[in-house]
Amino acid sequence: MTTSTLTDRYVSAVVRGVPDRQRADLEQELRASLADDIDARVEGGAEAKTAEREAIVELGDPIVLAARYAGRPLHLVGPELYADWRRLLTVLEFIIVPIVVATLVIVGAVKGDTFGGIVGGAVWTGLSVGVHLAFWVTVTFVLIERSPSMAAKKLMIWTPDMLPETAAQRTSRTEFIVETVLAALFLTAFVLSPFVSPFTDAAGAVVPLFDPWIWQSGILIVLVLVPLLQVGAGALKLRGHWTMPYAVAATLIDVAGAIAIIVLGATDHLLNPAFFDAAGWPQSVIGVTNIVVIVVGALAIATSAWENIRSVRRA
């Protein structure tokens, strides 16, 4: 046989997908079955070429047929493992990505990188880490799915204790009120700070509590916008209009705010040393405050994503 027929090509495509030791036997059987089918179609009046084509079309995609012969699953992760896969992936993504992003921001800020450089680098690396996590976790589950001995072992046995909390309206309302009051205090402090202070310098100008760099650099816009948006998000959450797009947007807002205060702390631009001199307060307080602010910012990033997404379920 010099030219390969459609049957040759089909049979070889199917047997390629089954273990070696079954191939010869399967090939012979499949050829006989196809030949029988073609003969029956020709007897029924079909043309030989058409009969062959139709018989093959009926057997369908060789990848599917080979998988059925080999008893391989036709899915990447099946119903047995799906819940484990999803639970593990969610937990890892929401723990590891924020930690990586926060670490990069802190390291970048300490090294004195530019604001854009820090944010760009953190976002890019955060995305890469997220994609890598999803890919490797999935690959692992695909392999487990294909090794019967491992697939038999459940990774986690689900129990009712693992159910998330339901909507506790009272808690949410208290949360919202506290959030709003804090945001109002925060905004008032920042906006009034350049104009109101108990101290003035030799020239009679006001000595603000916060570092004047906050106004000069324009980071003030972030510090004002973020709390306002957070209050808005809190109101939406409380009214139950909370969906995944909102959760993602709210997380980004929280992260932007957290990054801003981390930058302030890390670059020593939060408090004004002149104010401390005038007030006679120890300068060491500034350093301690910087560290506290960095830690709070990092924690805020880590918890924000988790909190916002969880609220989608509660809503």
Partner 1 sequence: MYDDEVLATHLQELRRGTVVLACLLLLKNPGYGYALIETLEQRGFATDANTLYPLLRRLEKQGLLVSEWDTAEARPRKFYRTSDDGARLAELLSAEWRTIDTAFDTLKDQP
40 belongs to the binding site for partner 1 (CB under 8 A) = yes
Rounded Cα distance, 55 and 75, in Å? 26
Q: Which of 263, 275, 271, 273 is nearest to 222 (CA)?
A: 263
Give the residues across from 200 on adjacent strands.
Answer: 206
148 belongs to the binding site for partner 1 (CB under 8 A) = no
Supply 66's token pair.
């080979």
3-state secondary structure of 210: strand
30 belongs to the binding site for partner 1 (CB under 8 A) = yes
Contact 14, 34 (CB under 8 A): no
Rounded Cα distance, 53 and 258, in Å? 64
295 belongs to the binding site for partner 1 (CB under 8 A) = no
Which residue lies nearer to partner 1 by CB, 37 or 80? 37
Rounded Cα distance, 217 and 220, in Å? 8
56 belongs to the binding site for partner 1 (CB under 8 A) = no
Which residue lies nearer to partner 1 by CB, 36 or 277? 36
12 belongs to the binding site for partner 1 (CB under 8 A) = no
198 belongs to the binding site for partner 1 (CB under 8 A) = no
Which residue lies nearer to partner 1 by CB, 25 or 201? 25
68 belongs to the binding site for partner 1 (CB under 8 A) = yes
Contact 223, 190 (CB under 8 A): yes
Rounded Cα distance, 315 and 300, in Å? 22
58 belongs to the binding site for partner 1 (CB under 8 A) = yes
Q: Residue holding tokens 């969610």?
A: 90
299 belongs to the binding site for partner 1 (CB under 8 A) = no
Contact 228, 187 (CB under 8 A): yes
Contact pick of 6, 48, 64, 288 for partner 1 (by CB under 8 A): 64
**Angle, helix 244-266 to helix 79-111, in steps of 10 degrees:** 30
Nearest distance in Å: CB 53, partner 1? 15
Contact pick of 5, 33, 140, 283 for partner 1 (by CB under 8 A): 33
Contact pick of 25, 47, 54, 201 for partner 1 (by CB under 8 A): 25
Dihedral sign, CA of 131, 133, 136, 139? Answer: negative
Helix (H) / strand (E) element for 2: namely none
Nearest distance in Å: CB 64, partner 1? 7
Between residue 69 and residue 98, which ones bind partner 1 under the rule CB under 8 A? 69, 71
Interface stretch with partner 1, choices 21-29, 79-87, 182-190, 292-300 (CB under 8 A):
21-29
310 belongs to the binding site for partner 1 (CB under 8 A) = no
Residue numbers at the binding site for partner 1 (CB under 8 A): 25-26, 28-30, 32-33, 35-37, 40, 58-60, 64-65, 68-69, 71
